[in-house]
Each structure stands twice: as C-alpha cells, then as structure tokens.
C-alpha cells in the first residue's frame, strides 16, 4: 500500500478515492467532461448510453440520502443499472466483514462501487481488494475524503469565476472532522488558487493544516476579507455543545455567515455550502437564499460531475 | 552435552568483547572461552566461521496469547518463533484474557511454557485487578507465582491516586512497575500520531502530549514513592528528553522502545497501511531520530519486539478499526542489525540493548557470555538476506509493516541452558 491505489502504472485514474495525488490535468479533464454533461442534464431526454449494461452498486455503510440519490441519478443518466444497498442496516450488523460484503457483491458482477463509510480509509481498503476491472468511487470516508463533492465545488467555482489563478477562497467551519474540507483543500491547491484560507476555532482544526498549503484564521472577519469564494461547512449536531464548542448560538455568533460578515468579502464573492445546511447555525437564511448564494446550482452541477467521474473511470467518456 | 562452537566472532556486550574466539559449553553453562577446558570432549561441534556468537536475546515484551487468545497464537507457535528469532528469555505482558491478575493463571502459564523447554518465559503481572485501575492485585502472591514486574499492559493507566498507591505497594514488596505512559483521556479514540499524516488522512489522533503528560505524572510519583519504574515503548522526542533529564538527576527509571519505532514513522502509514497501526502510534521523523539518539546516549535502555501476533481478520479493516500491533519475535534481531547498518552504531552496543540491558531490567543473570555464565546463546549469520513474508515466519501472526522487505541477518542456532533448541 505504498502506491496511490487510485492511479495505475500508466497514470490512468482507475478509482476515485481522494483528490490528493490526482494531477492537475486529470482534474481539469473531469471538469471539462462534466461541462459536456451539464447540457445532457438540461435536455428533454436526460440520458446517454455510455454505461449501458454496467452495474453500479451504491454501497452505503453510513446513511445518506442526498449523496446516494445524486450518484443514483448520475448513473441512471448514463444508462447504468443501479443497485442501492444500505449495508449499515443489513450484512454488517450481522457480523459480515467489509471485505466479505464487497467480495459477495463482486461475485454479482458489479462494475463499479460507490462507497460511503464512517471510517477513514474504507474506500482505499476496498479499492485495494477488488478485481482489476472493478472501479471504486469514494462517496465519503470518515474524515478523510469526499472527492466528488470537492470536484463539484471546483466545477461551481470555475463556472462563476472562470479562472482559478488569482482567487482567494475561504473554507469556514469544522475542518477537523470534515472530509469535504480536506478534499477541497487538495483540489484548490492543485488547481493553483492563490490563497486557500480556513477559518475555525482551534478545537475544530487539525494540528498540521498549514502543511497542506493553507492559511489558518481564527477570526472570521479577518479571514473573509477580500475573498472571492466562501465555502461554509456543516456543523454536526453532536459537536455543537460539549468540549469542542459551548453552544450553537455562540458558534453562530463567531462563525455563522451573516450579511455583515460577508460584507468584508469581495462584492462579487460567491457563497457555497455542501449541504445539508443548518440555517442559523453556520449560515444565516438571508445569505443562504441571497444574491451571492450558489448553493442550489452546486447540487445541479453535482450530477454532471458524478456522471463525468463514472464515465471516465469506466473508460467511456464522451 | 558438551558443545564446541568453533571459529565464530564472539560478541559479549556485558564485557564489551568483540573477538574471534571459540566457546565451550558444558552442561547448562559456558565452560570457557578461547581455550578448551581440561578434558573437554565435544559431543557436538558447531562450525561458526563467518557467524556471530552472542548471548541469547532478551525480549521485554512478547505476547504469547495464552491464556484466552489461542485463536491468534499459542505457546507452541510463539515459543518456537522466539527461539527462531534467537530469543532465549522473554517477558510477556499481562494483557491476556483474562489478564494475569491471579497467581493460578501465572503458574499455569509458567508451567506450560516450561514444558515446551524452549524460551524462558517471565510473566509480567497485572498492576490492578482486571486492569480496571481500581484495586491492586496480590503482588506478593503473583511474584511468588513467577511475575517479575507489574504493569497495566496497554490498558488505561489508573488515575494518579491509584497509581501512587500501586507504586508505593510494589516498592514495599520490592517489585518494579512497568508502565506504558499514555494519558487515557488525551489519547481517547485516537489511532495515529497528531501530525501531518493524520491531518491528511483524517485519522483521529493520539497527540505526543498524551505521552508526555503521563511521563510527567509518573516521574513525579517516582520521586514521591521511590518506586522502581520502567517506562515501556516510548515514542516521542519530548518524552525521551524528560527521561534523559530524570536520569541526569539520579532518578531510578529505565525505558525501552519497540524495534518498529526505531525504523518507522507516521509517513509509513502511506495509504492507510493497517500494518502500521501500532501502539503507541508511529510518530514523526523527528521522534524517530530522537529514539535513535536516545539509544546511542543510553537514555533508552532496551529495544524490544513488542510482539503482537494478529490474524488477517484483525488487520484487513479500515485503519482505525484494525487491531493495533505487529509480529516481532523473528524480526527483532534483523531489524536491530538494520539499525546497525544504517547508523554505524557498534554491534556490541546494539546487542547490549537486546541482551545485557533487558536482562538487567528483568533481574536476570543472563545476557552475558563468559565462563560460568548460563549457556543461553544465539548464533547468527549477519549477512544472510531474506525477505519477510508469512512463509518465512514461524509465529502464527505474520502481520508486520516490514512485509516484503528484504532484511539481513538470520539466526542459525539458538541454545538455551546448554541445549540446542533451534537450528
């Protein structure tokens, strides 16, 4: 396991496990492919036959409606057969190991696994143990990575801002537990964004973040000054009052995105959120629904980006 | 049996010797070095030319998995693995199932180990009943049954009050306390060093301060109680510094490291290699360098295998869910030799960390090779190369971060009490 399992010896992407380690040209080609799928999703007949006859298994060891649904829609628009498995409620609770579950599903001739798991590294483990013709997409593993979310985020940024160079991007919230933030940081630094900032209290920051090429801010107003993109992260309920934070109210006071705080950013700054939002905890409704919010377009682009990833992995891009 | 070990390079760290001399074994003891004793008739002559002859290794931490975890390994498999690794004495931690907190368990373990007639097994008793950190164990009784020290294994340390009393009590009856320093609250839920790797991989962390906070408390309690304390498996540069200072002011403490931590750091986790999920966690490069420096200047007394046999089901899991630990009995010597080759530390000094020093910590007279010493010996080819894989290892657990690595140094003979127990 000393080689990045998502890239084969010819430099081809065979799984999507993490943004880290994916070269810039592959990221750009995913974005370009996704752009071509946006028009597909806007057509009367929203289907292309690129994955006809392929079986995509949505393997969700952790409950998620939204991400699973977007993968399902993406696979169906590529004409794949989609099988949804909420493993958390079936075999795992009967004591079957992760790799046994995967081996059983592989025997049903799966072509692609979309995996969501509560443990960091679960998708890597699966990718390292499947037959070479099976592709694995990480739909979120522990606090490690959520690469398709980061891809749709950079797709959205590119859509509104055109170029990555020169941009200032701030990511605000629970970085410590966020697989989304880690993937976004790798995507933004790989694409050459000028400044990636993270804004959070020390209790929600991993210790060695600056080594990932980001600037760390504790104060939100300082961190948001002149940024072009604001990405808000969801704060999980269980982290709102305890030894990480005293209360949701105090968090909102210091780190919630309000029109006043947003006013220090560039006037054309866009506001993003991976969803689902906690209104009044990390974001004020007037911002979430306001002029600068691109939160709903993110969701739309998410389908096209996931179509792009699936078709590229299957070697069937347009 | 009389054994003539002929033409070898004799290394005796206890006497600082590195000479080409023959060794003559009579019965259970070394009869003489260099010249054959009067009237010596060899029943067996071992041609040791090109080989190194040294005292048998003494391992301060090797889990044999009995009682209670025979599905992972057994005394049969692990005592064979020990002598195949040149180990002639070992201390086994009390983290069996149930833990070694009752004299009957210790007597049974001693009896069963003795009946194998291979490696000498010295159990470490549990410091508190069922490792719960509340009630002391019957240390006198356990000592009479064969325990050489008392420890919490890798179970959480008791709170400071219970720890104080456990140390007072152990000091009263004259036993050392072996503690792996880790604050259980600061370490809670963690699986990896709090560094760049854990930040990237999104793994919950065990910060170095979990170790230093515990070392600090323990050192203060040593001053308070006068107990003899041995710190097990240090992993951080700061903790090693604290021990260095404690020793410099004359505090009676000792410490060891696992041989894995002499070589590896958190970068070796790479893409979630669960074989690198160890206790304590692999730390940064700076910490690994500090471990090597601590071994050189004598701050760290001994290197152990921290042998933890596990099966594939324990390891083929997402990193945090995988059982921590690695097999080590058969890798201890070659990995120490790797350290010798990489750093230029002398072979005599390196072997002292595997023989004389751990023997002294166990209160044993072994770990030396001169006339009259017990004939516990290891004869190895320092240049023989081999690749680490499951087929090469006798331990029932073969998971190690070094799988696939090519190592130098292979044990050819192991002698315990004058008997050739492995060749």
Instruction: Report the pLDDT value the prediction gives residue B232, as an integer from 0 to 100.
Output: 98
Chain A touched by B321 (CB under 8 Å): yes
CA distances (Å), origin A134, targets A59, A113, A126, A131, B374: 14, 8, 10, 6, 60
Query: What's the average model confidence in pLDDT over B408-413?
Result: 98
Does residue B354 sit at the A interface (CB-CB below 8 Å)? no
Task: Describe the strand order of the beta sheet including B377-387 as a list of residue ranges.
Answer: B17-20, B9-12, B52-55, B377-387, B406-416, B419-422
Confidence of residue A91 (pLDDT cuts 50, 70, 90): low
> Is B381 exposed, middle or buried, given 0-12, 13-18 or 19+ CB atoms closer than 10 A?
middle
Percent of the residues in chain A that have a pLDDT greater than 90, as a whole number: 83
> Cα(A169)–Cα(A172) distance, rounded to whole angstroms?
10
Q: Do A1 and B207 touch (CB under 8 A)?
A: no
B355 φ/ψ angles, rounded to the nearest 5 degrees: -130, -80
What is the pLDDT confidence band of residue A236, given thresholds at 50, 70 and 90?
Answer: confident
pLDDT, one tens digit per residue, over A176-217 is 999 999 999 999 999 999 999 999 999 999 999 999 999 999
The distance of Cα B322 from the centroid of its chain, to the nearest Å, equals: 22
For A267-312, the pLDDT digits (tens) are 999 999 998 999 999 999 999 999 999 999 999 999 999 999 999 9
pLDDT in tens, B22-31: 999 999 999 9
Of A91 and B361, more confident = B361
Q: Which of B2, B53, B66, B52 is nearest to B28 (CA)?
A: B2
**What is the predicted ipTM?**
0.94
pLDDT digits (tens, 9 = 90+) for B351-365: 999 999 999 999 999
Structure tokens at B341: 């080759």
Compare all CA atoms of chain A with the CA of B196 and give the residue at the minimum distance: A208
Secondary structure, 3-state, A79-140: CCEEEEECHHHCHHHHCCCHHHHHHHHHCCCCCEEEEEECCCCHHHHHHCCCCCCCEEEEEE
Q: Dihedrals φ, ψ of B224, to 5°?
A: -70, -40
Are A208 and B195 in contact (CB < 8 Å)?
Answer: yes
Distance CA B21, CA B35 (A): 8
The fraction of chain A above a pLDDT of 70, given in percent, is 96
B235 and B306 Cβ atoms separated by less than 8 Å: no
Neighbours of B74 (CB within 10 A): 17
> Please, what is the Cα angle at B294 between B11 and B359, to 5 degrees?
45
Q: Which residues of A touch B (CB under 8 A)?
A: 1-5, 20, 97-99, 117, 119-122, 124-125, 128-129, 141-145, 179, 182, 206-209, 211-212
CB contact under 8 A, A129 and B316: yes
Under 8 Å between Cβ of A43 and B309: no
Chain A hits for B200, CB-CB cut-off 8 Å, are 20, 182, 212
Q: Nearest Cα to B206, choosing from B227, B223, B189?
A: B189
Q: What is the pLDDT of residue A228?
A: 98
Per-residue confidence band for A96, with pLDDT thresholds at 50, 70 and 90: confident
Reduced to 3 states (helix: H, G, I; strand: E, B; else coil), residue B347 is helix
**Using CA atoms, how far apart are residues B372 and B28, in angstroms rounded to an integer?**
9
Structure tokens at B144: 């009479």
Using an 8 Å Cβ cutoff, are B408 and B382 in contact? yes
CA distance A144 to A121: 7
Q: Is the four-CA dihedral B313, B317, B320, B325 of positive or negative sign?
A: positive
Contact between residue B253 and residue B244 where contact means Cβ atoms under 8 Å apart: no
Q: What is the pLDDT, as a whole number, of residue B409?
A: 97
CB B10 within 8 A of CB B17: yes
Which regions of B77-156 does DSSP assign to beta strands (E)?
A: 87-92, 120-123, 125-126, 150-151
Helix H, strand E, coil C: the string for B284-300 is CHHHHHHHHHHHHCCCC
Query: What CA–CA distances, in Å, run from A172 to A121, A217, A263, B158, B301?
Result: 24, 9, 15, 39, 47
- The mean predicted confidence, pLDDT, of chain B is 97
Q: Is B141 on the interface with A (CB under 8 A)?
A: no
The confidence score (pLDDT) of residue A90 equals: 55
Block residue for tokens 């998410």 = A302
Question: Measured between alpha carbons, how far is B326 from B401 in angstroms, rounded to an integer?
Answer: 7
Task: Determine, for residues A1 and B273 on separate chains, whether the beta-carbon distance falls below 8 Å.
Answer: yes
Interface test with B, best of A1, A99, A176, A200 (most B CBs within 10 A): A1
- Cβ within 8 Å, pair B320-A121: yes
Q: How confident is the model at residue A40 (pLDDT cuts 50, 70, 90)?
A: confident
Which residues from chain B sit within 8 angstroms of residue A124, using beta carbons?
Answer: 271-272
pLDDT of residue A1: 52
**If you count them, how many residues does chain A have?**
318
Domain extents in chain B: 2-52+373-422, 56-362
Nearest CA in chain A to B270: A2
Q: Which residues of B touch A141 (CB under 8 A)?
A: 202, 318
Residues B299-324 have a mean pLDDT of 96
Q: Which pairing describes strands B377-387 and B406-416: parallel, antiparallel, or unpaired?
A: antiparallel
Which residues of chain A lie closer than 8 angstroms to B318, CB-CB? Answer: 98, 117, 119-122, 125, 141-142
C-beta of residue A252 within 8 angstroms of C-beta of residue A172: no
How confident is the model over B403-411, as a mean pLDDT? Answer: 97
Per residue, the 3-state secondary structure of A248-261, as one string, reads: HHHHHHHHCECHHH
pLDDT digits (tens, 9 = 90+) for A17-26: 999 999 999 9
Question: What's the CA gap between B219 and B246, in Å, rounded?
Answer: 7
- A119 vs B320: CB contact, 8 Å cut-off? yes
Contact A121, A143 (CB under 8 A): no
pLDDT of residue A94: 63
Spell out the residues 6+ positions from residue A230 whose beta carbon is closer than 8 angstroms to its own.
Answer: A169, A170, A172, A224, A257, A262, A265, A269, A270, A271, A272
**According to the model, what pLDDT value does residue A180 have?**
97
The tokens 């991993």 sit on which residue? Answer: A206
Q: Measured between alpha carbons, how far is B423 from A26 in angstroms, rounded to an integer?
A: 56
Query: A129–B270: do the CB atoms touch at under 8 Å?
Result: no
Residue B407 predicted with pLDDT over 60? yes
CA separation for the pair B8, A1 (Å, rounded): 40
Round the average pLDDT of chain A to a whole number and report it. 93
A11-A17-A23-A25 Cα dihedral, nearest 10 degrees: 90
Distance between first and last Cα of chain B: 16
pLDDT (average), residues B109-134: 97
* Candidate from A99, A119, A209 with C-beta closest to B199: A209
Copy the structure tokens of residue B198: 């854990």
Please report the pLDDT score of residue B357 as a whole number.
98
Q: pLDDT digits over B136-174, tens only?
A: 999 999 999 999 999 999 999 999 999 999 999 999 999
CA–CA gap between residue B291 and residue B112 (Å, rounded): 36
Q: Which chain A residues are closer than 8 Å to B322 by Cβ?
A: none
Q: Provide the annotated active-site residues of B.
A: 306
Are A119 and B321 in contact (CB < 8 Å)?
Answer: yes
Where residue A173 falls (left for φ over 0; alpha for ψ -120 to 50; beta otherwise) is left
Per-residue pLDDT averaged across A142-147, rounded?
Answer: 97
Q: From 3.40.50.280, 3.20.20.140, 3.40.50.150, 1.10.3430.10, which CATH number describes the B56-362 domain?
A: 3.20.20.140
Residues A97-110 have a mean pLDDT of 90
Interchain contact, A1 vs B318, CB within 8 Å: no
- Check pLDDT > 80 for residue A316: no
CATH architecture, domain defined by B2-52+373-422: Roll (2.30)
Residue A268 half-sphere exposure, CB side, CA atoms within 13 Å?
A: 5
Contact predicate A206/A185, CB 8 Å: no
Extract long-range pairs of A20-27: CB within 8 Å, 24+ residues apart.
A20/A145, A20/A182, A20/A183, A20/A186, A20/B200, A22/A147, A22/A190, A23/A190, A24/A190, A24/A191, A24/A192, A27/A151, A27/A154, A27/A187, A27/A190, A27/A191
Mean pLDDT for the stretch of residues A225-235: 97
Averaged pLDDT, A23-52: 92
Kindly tell me if the per-residue pLDDT of A318 is higher than 60: no
Residue pair A61/A44 in contact (Cβ under 8 Å)? The answer is: no
Report the C-alpha gap between B128 and A78 in whole angstroms: 62
C-alpha distances (whole Å) from B6 to each of A161, A197, B22, B37, B48 are: 80, 69, 5, 14, 5
Would an 8 Å CB–CB cutoff place B346 in contact with chain A?
no
**B51 SS3 class:** coil
């Amino acid at each position: 396991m000393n080689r990045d399992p998502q890239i084969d010896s010819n430099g081809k992407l065979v799984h999507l496990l993490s943004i880290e380690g994916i070269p810039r040209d592959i990221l750009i080609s995913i974005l370009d492919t996704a752009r071509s799928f946006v028009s597909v999703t806007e057509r009367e007949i929203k289907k292309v036959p690129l994955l006809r006859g392929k079986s995509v298994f949505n393997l969700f060891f952790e409950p998620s409606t939204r991400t699973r649904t977007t993968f399902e829609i993406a696979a169906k628009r590529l004409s794949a057969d989609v099988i949804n498995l909420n493993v958390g409620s079936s075999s795992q609770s009967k004591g079957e190991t992760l790799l046994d579950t995967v081996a059983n599903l592989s025997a049903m001739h799966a072509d692609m696994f979309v995996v969501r798991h509560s443990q960091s590294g679960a998708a890597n483990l699966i990718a390292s143990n499947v037959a070479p013709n099976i592709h694995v997409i990480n739909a979120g593993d522990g606090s490690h990575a959520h690469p398709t979310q980061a891809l749709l985020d950079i797709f959205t940024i590119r859509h509104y801002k055109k170029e990555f160079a020169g941009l200032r991007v701030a990511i605000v919230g629970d970085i410590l537990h966020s697989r989304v933030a880690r993937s976004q940081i790798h995507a933004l630094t790989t694409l050459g964004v000028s400044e990636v900032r993270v804004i959070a209290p020390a209790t929600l920051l991993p210790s060695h973040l600056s080594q990932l090429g980001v600037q760390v801010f504790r104060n939100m107003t300082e961190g948001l000054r002149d940024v072009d993109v604001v990405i808000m992260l969801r704060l999980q309920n269980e982290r709102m009052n305890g030894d990480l934070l005293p209360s949701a109210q105090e968090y909102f006071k210091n780190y919630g995105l309000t029109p006043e705080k947003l006013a220090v950013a560039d006037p054309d700054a866009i506001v993003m959120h991976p969803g689902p939002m906690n209104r009044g905890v990390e974001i004020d409704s007037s911002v979430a629904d306001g002029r600068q919010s691109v939160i709903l377009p993110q969701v739309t682009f998410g389908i096209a980006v996931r179509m792009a990833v699936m078709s590229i992995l299957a070697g069937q891009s347009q | 049996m009389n054994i003539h070990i002929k033409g070898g390079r004799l290394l005796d760290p206890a006497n600082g010797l590195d000479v080409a001399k023959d060794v003559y074994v009579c019965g259970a003891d070394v009869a003489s070095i260099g010249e054959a004793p009067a009237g010596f008739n060899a029943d067996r002559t071992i041609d040791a030319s090109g080989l190194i002859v040294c005292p048998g290794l003494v391992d301060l931490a090797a889990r044999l998995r009995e009682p209670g975890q025979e599905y992972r390994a057994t005394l049969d498999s692990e005592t064979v693995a020990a002598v195949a690794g040149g180990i002639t004495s070992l201390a086994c931690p009390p983290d069996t199932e149930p833990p070694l907190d009752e004299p009957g368990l210790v007597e049974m373990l001693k009896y069963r180990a003795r009946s194998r007639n291979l490696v000498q097994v010295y159990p470490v008793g549990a410091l508190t009943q069922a490792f719960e950190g509340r009630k002391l164990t019957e240390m006198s009784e356990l000592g009479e049954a064969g325990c050489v020290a008392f420890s919490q294994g890798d179970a959480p340390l008791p709170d400071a009050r219970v720890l104080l009393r456990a140390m007072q009590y152990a000091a009263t009856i004259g036993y050392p306390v072996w503690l792996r320093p880790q604050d259980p609250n600061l370490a809670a839920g963690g699986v990896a060093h709090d560094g760049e790797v854990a930040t990237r991989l999104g793994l919950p962390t065990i910060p170095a301060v979990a170790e230093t906070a515990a070392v600090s408390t323990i050192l203060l309690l040593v001053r308070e109680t006068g107990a003899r304390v041995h710190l097990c498996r240090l992993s951080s540069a700061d903790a090693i510094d604290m021990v260095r200072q404690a020793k410099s002011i004359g505090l009676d403490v000792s410490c060891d490291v696992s041989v894995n931590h002499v070589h590896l750091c958190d970068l070796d986790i790479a893409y979630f290699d669960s074989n690198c999920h160890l206790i304590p966690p692999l730390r940064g490069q700076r910490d690994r360098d500090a471990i090597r420096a601590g071994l050189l200047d004598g701050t760290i007394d001994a290197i152990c295998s921290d042998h933890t046999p596990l099966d594939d089901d324990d390891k083929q899991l997402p990193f945090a869910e995988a059982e921590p630990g690695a097999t080590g009995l058969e890798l201890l010597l070659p990995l120490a030799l790797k350290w010798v080759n990489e750093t230029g530390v002398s072979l005599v000094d390196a072997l002292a960390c595997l023989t004389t020093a751990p023997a002294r910590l166990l209160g044993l007279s072994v770990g030396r090779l001169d006339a009259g010493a017990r004939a516990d010996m290891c004869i190895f080819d320092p240049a023989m190369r081999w690749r680490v894989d499951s087929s090469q290892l006798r331990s029932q657990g073969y998971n190690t971060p070094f799988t696939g690595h090519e190592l130098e140094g292979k044990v050819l003979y192991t002698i315990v009490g004058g008997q050739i127990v492995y060749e």
